[in-house]
Structure 1
Amino acid sequence: MSSAKSMPIYKKFVQEGIVKYKLHEFMEKISDKAGFHGVEISSTPIRDIITVYVESPGVMIGRGGRTSKRISDILKEELGIQNPYIQAKKVDKPFLSTRIVASYIARRIAKGERYKKVAYSALGRVMAEGAKGVEIRLSGKFGSQRAREERFREGVIYRCGQDYIENVEYAVKHVLMPQGMIGVRVRIVKPGVRGPDAVVIKEDEIERIRERIKSEMESLSESEVVEIPEELEGELEVAGEVKEDESEQAR
């Protein structure tokens, strides 16, 4: 078997990708109660630093670091990471993360809470964080024999095109209930997104046009004002007197 140094570069990339995928899958499963958002791994000559982004870092680390120590031992055995160091970081706005929102809904449904109450609660908290739009879709059996899908929406949701690729975050979570599996799908449109139908008023451009019009009006000199010749002034006075006489006769 060839050593790691003589391994072709493409095989090394594939192997690293597999390790990252397994690490993400494992950390998502083990840190579900902490509100998992994502994981990053950076290798140094001394150790491999694994940064986990969660809603509650204290749950991830555990009392006295016991939970993180147990996770490190599992990573050594399962994924072959020789010297892992786990650190947990808190997500600034957890309810803008679709993974955290999906886990939040799944946990509360698993505890027996009504799905509509849970969905509307999550909907309000996501919009309160500043999201432009959110969609929650729950599918499964909700106390009936036949499965159905329930949708909860607020704000704007993009479903195709470049706006969907760049501005929409998507996550799926499943929760096993006595009546069967319930699927939770969450879409969130990031804050500060300006859609293609947005109207933008350019105040600077309007002010520039106003200043230009004002300067043009002020540049008009008195010489450009049309003056009435003296001959026409006399004719206009006679015409005015004739009109006055005709109005008096009409009276």
Structure 2
Amino acid sequence: MRVHGIKIRASLPRPQRSPGHRLASTHSPLEDSAVVIRVQNFVADGVFRAELGEFFTRELAEEGYSGCEVRVTHARTEIIIRATHTQEVLGDKGRRIRELTSLVQKRFKFPENSLELYAEKVQNRGLSAVAQCESLRYKLLGGLAVRRACYGVLRFVMESGAKGCEVVVSGKLRAARAKSMKFTDGFMIHSGQPARDFVDYAVRHVLLRQGVLGIKVKIMKGWDPEGRLGPRKPLPDTVTIIEPPIDKLITEPLSEQKGPQEQAIPPPAPQQPLEEQPVVE
């Protein structure tokens, strides 16, 4: 071990054992092999999902590909493709979806009739960062100004019910020197587990004549108890103000008298002044 060019020998305590006895292992060979197989399956599953997502991203970019979900059962494997234009994913009489099924089946060596691909329409594409990133990408390829295209995406996302949105475009926008432009609106969080649960993030690249532009889109979703437009649980720091209960009207206190009640003496009536009588002579 070398630290700043100095060689250091790491001295580790040696296990104490009596002569003629082998050092006992805490795990059996079967347990070690089971752990290795489990790790290999975990890594293989991650590589499969990553390669599948990359393939669909390149193949279904124009169809508004927004992600996929893999469901594995004992009989077959189902892959659900989420896109904004599902009819184009299916193709004429299901031809396109059959071609994709054949390609995936041959690439990953699935047995016959053990793989099914389905297309699901994105319910609210304004809350999908991938869909908005692809939309902005095609706007820039069409020659639309960067500022106008980004503000259009921001307005559409906020009108779709998002809590916040952030769009970053970096590269050689106009001049020869590269720069970055950031457009934000609403509320956005950047750290912690809520950032993973509430923020949808996507990155795309645009190849233009002057160079490559990078696009980053972040969409902050709101809390939805039904789980359609956002996570079911609210943010940890959410403050809920409960309306106070309606208080009953408090009447004036009454005093109870145990003894005999005294009759109240009415006050004397006021005497009216006497009228002066005329004197008769």
TM-score range, shorter-chain basis?
0.7 to 0.9
Aligned residues: 212
Alignment of 1:99-248 (within 5 A): 99-192=130-223, 200-203=240-243, 206-208=244-246, 210-211=247-248, 214=249, 217-218=250-251, 220-222=253-255
Q: Partner residue of 2:94? A: 65
Worse overlay, 37-46 or 59-68: 37-46
SS across alignment from 2:144: coil
Q: Aligned partner of 2:195: which letter?
A: Y
103, 106, 118: which one pairs with 1:74?
Answer: 103
Worse overlay, 9-18 or 96-105: 9-18
Which ranges in structure 2 are unaligned for 5 or more consecutive residues? 1-33, 225-233, 258-281
Q: Partner residue of 1:15? A: 44
Q: Distance in 1 between matches of 2:58 and 2:74?
A: 28
Paired residues of 1:41 and 1:51 also in contact (CA < 8 A)? yes
Q: Aligned partner of 1:72: which letter?
A: T
Q: Distance in 2 between matches of 1:66 and 1:107?
A: 26
Q: Aligned partner of 2:126: which letter?
A: F
Q: Distance in 1 between matches of 2:238 and 2:178?
A: 39
Paired residues of 1:35 and 1:56 also in contact (CA < 8 A)? yes
- Deviation of residue 192 (structure 1)? 3.4
Q: Partner residue of 1:233? A: none
- In structure 2, the CA distance between the partners of 1:221 and 1:161, relative to structure 1 (3 Å rule), is farther
- Deviation of residue 47 (structure 1)? 3.4
- Deviation of residue 219 (structure 1)? 6.7
Q: Partner residue of 2:63? A: 34
Percent of paired sites with the same residue: 27
- Deviation of residue 76 (structure 1)? 2.4
Paired residues of 1:33 and 1:59 also in contact (CA < 8 A)? no
- In structure 2, the CA distance between the partners of 1:133 and 1:42, relative to structure 1 (3 Å rule), is same
Alignment of 1:84-103 (within 5 A): 84-103=115-134
Q: Distance in 2 between matches of 1:161 and 1:202?
A: 27
Q: Distance in 1 between matches of 2:235 and 2:72?
A: 39
Q: Distance in 1 between matches of 2:148 and 2:140?
A: 10
SS across alignment from 1:158: coil
Q: Which has the higher helix share?
A: 1
- Deviation of residue 166 (structure 1)? 2.8
- In structure 2, the CA distance between the partners of 1:219 and 1:163, relative to structure 1 (3 Å rule), is farther
- Deviation of residue 84 (structure 1)? 2.5
- In structure 2, the CA distance between the partners of 1:69 and 1:158, relative to structure 1 (3 Å rule), is same
83, 96, 101: which one pairs with 1:54?
Answer: 83
SS across alignment from 1:87: strand
Q: Distance in 1 between matches of 2:237 and 2:40?
A: 46
Which ranges in structure 1 are unaligned for 5 or more consecutive residues? 1-5, 225-251
SS across alignment from 1:66: helix
SS across alignment from 1:218: coil
SS across alignment from 1:207: coil
CA RMSD of aligned residues (A): 2.4
User: Deviations along 1:130-175, whole A, 9 cap, x unmatched?
Assistant: 0011011111111210111111111111122344233222111111
Structure label with greater radius of gyration = 2
Q: Distance in 1 between matches of 2:149 and 2:191?
A: 28
